[in-house]
Structure 1
Amino acid sequence: MRSRITLFALTGALTVSLVACSSGPVDRASSESSDDGHGAVAGAEEVAEPQLGLTSIDADGAVSHLDLLDESVTDIGEISAPSALTTDGRYLFAQTDDGIEIVDSGVWTWDHIDHFHYYRAAPAVLGSVPGEGMAAVATTNLSTTGGTGISFAGSGEAVLLDTQALSKGEISELFRIEREPHAGLVVPVGSFALVTEASDGVGTSVRGYTADGEETGLDVPCVAPSGTITTRVGAVIGCQDGALLAHVDGDELQVERIPYPAGTTAPPAESFDNREGRPTVAGLAGSEGIWMLDTRARSWTLLPYPAPLAQVTAVDDEDGHLLALAQDGRVLVLNGDDGSVLAETAPLAAQSLSSGAEPTLIADQHRAYLSAPIEHRLYEIDYADAARIARTFETATEPAFVAETGR
């Protein structure tokens, strides 16, 4: 699953041209599909390049899509007022007072390991999934197959949605399981799901379930589960003592534990972020450093804190770049091996950070994107070229929610 994205509502068009691609070998243990359609669905058009866009939801729930290729803006519809947003690169899962409302941006990429397929279809507001309290949404890297997990903290209900049905415009629950209320997770892994269990309101373990809600017998300790992300190797779940890495081997759900280094006193990572799908992820170790998790090597690295930080994300490119947003609004380009600062920008989002507007730093293969909501700006940063500001885009609106879609 990608991290919650808190950017700003967009008015008008931004002149942006992006190319989505990937590099390096892939394991795809957790997300490879035997779907012969390569991500195609009825009514969708296969196109020659990724249909990247920014799909936004304003504070009142109005949904619009900005096509980053031709700069056209499409009004998709309206939902209830959102308070948080999660995306998988196609769908937007918006937290509202009554649960999760789902928007289909209508653009997506199918990653087939050695090549890609790009699609465009009609965008739509699909409907809602009812539930109580804050919801944690977990996705895979594929938007036409598998499942999407939702865990409602207020009621404790664990929901697995049929992602293939979503691709056809339908909201279909594969299962809904009652549990003790807690801030938990439902993490899709191939045709299975890992569901957290709790005692006295605190998560204690994860159990394996089939897509129809039957227990597999897998029950793995995981105290205080927090944070999940799907990499090229498997699905990651953060625990107090490290992380669980899950994938499907043949017809069996497999879970490995990756413990934190012996003797560490740094706080555990509570969330993870990276360039989508890459095997290495990053998370803050409280105020003491940066955790890097290499899911291929099954190893953690604790990097020094270069400055008080608000966010980190692993680029995981050939040069091992790591990006960080400092609490004073600077974007830092770090060496992912030792944490040294390679380059930095001026304070670009200082007002937003000081006001609690939560700017978001996004890593792409060639660029980084930083939202500065209060400053009404979006910055495009060439992190490989001394953190050069490649472009600056103005917006005249107050903060809302935006997701990069079509990837």
Structure 2
Amino acid sequence: MRYTTPLRAISIAVSAALLVACGDTEININEREPVVIENPEHDHDAVNTHGRLVISALDSAYVQVLALPAKTELDSFLVTATPSALYASGDYRYAAVVQRTQDRVNFIDGGLWQEDHADHLHDYEAEPRLMPFQLTQVRPTHFTQAEGQLAVFFDGNSVTGTPAGVAVLTDADIGEDRTDYPELTYDTHQHGAAQPRGEFLISTIRDVNSSTTLPDKVGLYHQHSEHYDLEQTFTETCPGLHGSAQNHDFIAFGCTDGVLLIAQTGSTFTASKLANSDALTGSMRIGSLGGFHKAEHFVGFAGTSMFAIHPEEGEMVALDWQPGNATAITGYGFAEQGEKFVLLDNTGTLTIFNYHGHDHAGQNAFEFDSKLALNTSANALPTGSRFELAISASDDKVYVTNPITRQLMTIDLHDAEMVSEKPLPYIPGKLVWLGIASPADAHHDH
């Protein structure tokens, strides 16, 4: 059943709930009809190339959309439950509002998109809106965005016997409320991961008799209409598989004994294994990975240890990011079209690397640029909160929330400095950037 409760009917209840959840602050939720802004002469100045932010309130079903660069409120919405995560859709138009334990994903239209008009690219702008499209499979957990696609991995449920599954969506599927998007259904539950590659899907496989929820194999699936068929199970195993990423030529999965690398050449996929480096000792293992389609390297994390992984050279090199007092990483990713790599830790510190690609002329692939201490408060984080990071896909800005001070900060990566702060009337929860990744009139403000 699709979620169709009118926002007008529940706005009073939400406002009352937020008085408690957000520190005695009244927040009004409005419903607006979408209004498209476009110029028939193809003058794109009216279209916002900076993008928009979607931000949730801690311990509340309230979600707000802000217009950049000023971070002014455009609209606010109520979803079913407190969001456990926010992700961007394949082309950054929609925010996937994940409510994992409620088995639900709602979608919010950020209102910025681009169309190919054959002789030119045309940018559009409209008011945000809550979409009728939603997902209601069991335990939506891992979300992977790649080349206009969004793969959603549902873990299933071991108690109820509900098997895992994968849905692969385009922005058109979400916008047109389609039901014929391709899906993969397993025969057992698993805490897995999937990477979409056009008509192919690289997804995990778990033995139904395994004593762990983690898979140990990976399969190549091929789309046929609304489903995927298994075409190949790679012989290389990946015990304790957790974490995955992809770039233009490779797909990577984290394993207890190394990284499983799958290379694609046309419609041919081959697997190899990169063993853990000597810097990974004891029970250390790569448990999360970051990638970018233009970047030659993956970045792997084993706790707070950071590694540069080069698939073609078979290299795994430890990077000293000077963690200081940090005990966890709360956000990371390539930025500025792959020219930077950023990570945010649990002390509220942002570390910036310049990315040069493969080592050349004695220059490291990842060059330490700077470290910004964005939190100066001595107070503890509110229960259940953490510092959150959102990376713009259109310019050199990233955004960080501070739940302690209720601030939303803008950081300019080119100058490595915080350029603005916005006070929030609530404790921030999750955060994601939406917009046009390559605006028709691209520009970078420094």
For this structure pair, what is the TM-score category when the shorter chain's length is used for normalisation? 0.7 to 0.9
Aligned to 1:107: 112
Q: 2:94 aligns with which of 62, 73, 91?
A: 91
User: How many percent identity over aligned positions?
Assistant: 17
Q: 2:199 aligns with which of 185, 191, 194?
A: 191
> Matches of 1:346 and 1:147 in 2, distance apart?
33
Aligned to 1:136: 142
Q: Which amino acid aligns with 1:393?
A: K
Q: 2:385 aligns with which of 342, 352, 357?
A: 357
Aligned to 1:265: 280
SS at match of 1:290: strand
Aligned to 2:66: 66
CA contact (8 A) 2:321 2:368 kept: no
Aligned to 1:15: none
Which runs of no fewer than 5 residues in structure 1 stay unpaired? 1-7, 13-42
Give the Å deviation of 1:238. 2.4
Q: Cα distance 1:137–1:375, how it changes in 2: closer, same or farther (>3 A)?
A: same
Q: Cα distance 1:329–1:119, how it changes in 2: closer, same or farther (>3 A)?
A: same
CA contact (8 A) 2:390 2:431 kept: no
SS at match of 1:97: helix
> Matches of 2:273 and 2:234 in 1, distance apart?
16
> Matches of 1:66 and 1:100 in 2, distance apart?
23
Cα deviation 1:300-347 (Å, max 9, x = unaligned): 321135124332635466996443334433323346638775433335
What value does the CA root-mean-square deviation take over the aligned residues?
A: 3.9
Q: Cα distance 1:126–1:172, how it changes in 2: closer, same or farther (>3 A)?
A: farther
Q: Cα distance 1:268–1:130, how it changes in 2: closer, same or farther (>3 A)?
A: same
CA contact (8 A) 2:307 2:318 kept: yes
Aligned to 1:4: none
CA contact (8 A) 2:52 2:66 kept: yes
Is it true that 1:332 corresponds to 2:344 in the alignment? no
1:237-276 equivalences under 5 Å are 237-246=253-262, 249-250=265-266, 252-257=267-272, 259-260=274-275, 262-266=277-281, 267-273=284-290
Q: TM-score, normalised by structure 1?
A: 0.73
Which shifted more, 98-107 or 191-200? 98-107
Larger Rg: 2
Aligned to 1:223: 239
Q: Which amino acid aligns with 1:74?
A: D
SS at match of 2:373: coil
CA contact (8 A) 1:283 1:290 kept: yes
Give the Å deviation of 1:83. 2.2
Which shifted more, 274-283 or 254-263? 274-283
CA contact (8 A) 1:147 1:162 kept: yes
> Matches of 2:339 and 2:417 in 1, distance apart?
18
Give the Å deviation of 1:216. 0.7
Q: Cα distance 1:244–1:117, how it changes in 2: closer, same or farther (>3 A)?
A: farther
Aligned to 2:188: 180
Give the Å deviation of 1:175. 2.5
Q: TM-score, normalised by structure 2?
A: 0.68
Which runs of no fewer than 5 residues in structure 2 stay unpaired? 1-20, 28-35, 356-363, 438-446
Give the Å deviation of 1:396. 1.7
Cα deviation 1:78-108 (Å, max 9, x = unaligned): 3333223333333323124331313142334
Give the Å deviation of 1:73. 0.7
Q: Which amino acid aligns with 1:270?
A: G
> Matches of 2:380 and 2:301 in 1, distance apart?
20
Aligned to 2:430: 401
Cα deviation 1:133-170 (Å, max 9, x = unaligned): 4522223231xxx5623232423321223424224232
> Matches of 1:233 and 1:117 in 2, distance apart?
29
Q: Which amino acid aligns with 1:107?
A: L
> Matches of 1:296 and 1:117 in 2, distance apart?
37
CA contact (8 A) 2:112 2:434 kept: yes
Is it true that 1:126 corresponds to 2:126 in the alignment? no
> Matches of 1:97 and 1:171 in 2, distance apart?
23
Q: Which amino acid aligns with 1:369?
A: Y
SS at match of 1:73: strand
